[in-house]
Amino acid sequence: MYIKNKNFRAIRTISAIACVLFALTACSDGSDDDDDGAITTGTTGMDGNGSTDGDGGTDGDGGTDGDGGTDGDGGTDGDDDEIQEEIATDGTSDFTVPLSAEQEVPMLDLPTAEGEASFNINKDSGAINGEVTFSGLTGAPTVAHIHQGFAGSVGAPILNLEANANGMAFDIPEGTVLDASALAQLNEGALYFNVHTAANAGGEIRGQIIPADILLEDTELSGDEMVPVIDTGASGFGYSTLNTETGALTVFISVSDLANASTAGLFLGAEGENGDSITALVQDGTDPSIWRTPEGTVLTVAQVTAFVAESIYVVVTSDTYPNGEIRGQL
């Protein structure tokens, strides 16, 4: 699981806000041209508590709808907030990506299962090379891939990795070149490594690839975070991916023990405060426990600053609690 490091985040906030403001004001329209979502290789507004607005749209401050956002904070938002991407002397990028069972969707409780992906990529040509190591799995790994998908979602594999001769690693096949679509998704934070086993055929350890201009945060939702507090056994967990160059935001939320969830949305407001609506979330057509941002959601400069300062929150409402049953700060 990604665990927020509050001390690290407090230090990071000052520089992140400055970088975000510079990047966004330099963009002509704040949109993301790389939102085609393809990878190959070689709605309604809501009030401050979560109920629906009468106008059926986002309020005046709201971001536009969409998904082109991406994961990251320039590193994992995990145990030690390490930076994933470093620029090599030749202008290519070196990535170090931690893999864990807690990043799987749904997350797995396998504390000894872990791994690390190390790779180099030329973002101009798409040439990529590297390997994934692992330890503590429930059994021998069966396959490993690079998949498309934002944190909190599951996507199709776009590259099969090759088992190393030593049996303790998978290699990116020699000569692999990502095409323009795959590079766009990598830059958006929409690619991840996944190692599969017989016990966990859908994946046992996973690691999201987080470029330097991506912020990735996790969120836990509960009734205790509501204002006022709601006494409920319902809960939720999710990830928010923000592209600091464009303001594009992608949020995936999964709720539990909330069978009659009715709406969900993002709002401006610090912990303990209620605020204005930014955008409603969309319920998954297959799994009603999943909610996500609409395609093309882009935050304003002020909203990006609020995100970095942990002053945006998500609320999920229900038939029982139409103003919101669970809440979590992004």
229, 223 in Cβ contact below 8 A? yes
Burial of 229 (0-12, 13-18, 19+ CB in 10 A): exposed
Q: What pLDDT, on the 0 to 100 scale, is given for residue 320?
A: 95
For residues 231-244, b (16+ Cβ closer than 10 Å) or e, as one string? ebebbbbbbbbbbb
* Residues listed for the chain: 330
Does residue 98 have a cis bond before it (omega within 30 degrees)?
Answer: no
Q: What pLDDT, on the 0 to 100 scale, is given for residue 165?
A: 87
The DSSP element (H or E) to which 185 belongs, if any, is helix 180-188
pLDDT along the chain (330 residues), means of 10: 37 47 47 37 46 42 40 39 84 96 95 98 97 97 97 97 92 97 96 98 98 95 98 97 96 94 97 97 94 97 96 97 97
Q: CA 188, CA 265: separation in Å to the nearest integer? A: 22
Q: What pLDDT, on the 0 to 100 scale, is given for residue 168?
A: 87
122 alpha carbon, distance to own chain's centre: 23
For residues 42-56, b (16+ Cβ closer than 10 Å) or e, as one string? ebbbbbbbbbbbeee
Question: Taking the CA atoms of the chain, what radius of gyration do you get in angstroms?
Answer: 19
302, 276 in Cβ contact below 8 A? no
Amino acid at 15: S
Q: What pLDDT, on the 0 to 100 scale, is given for residue 166?
A: 84
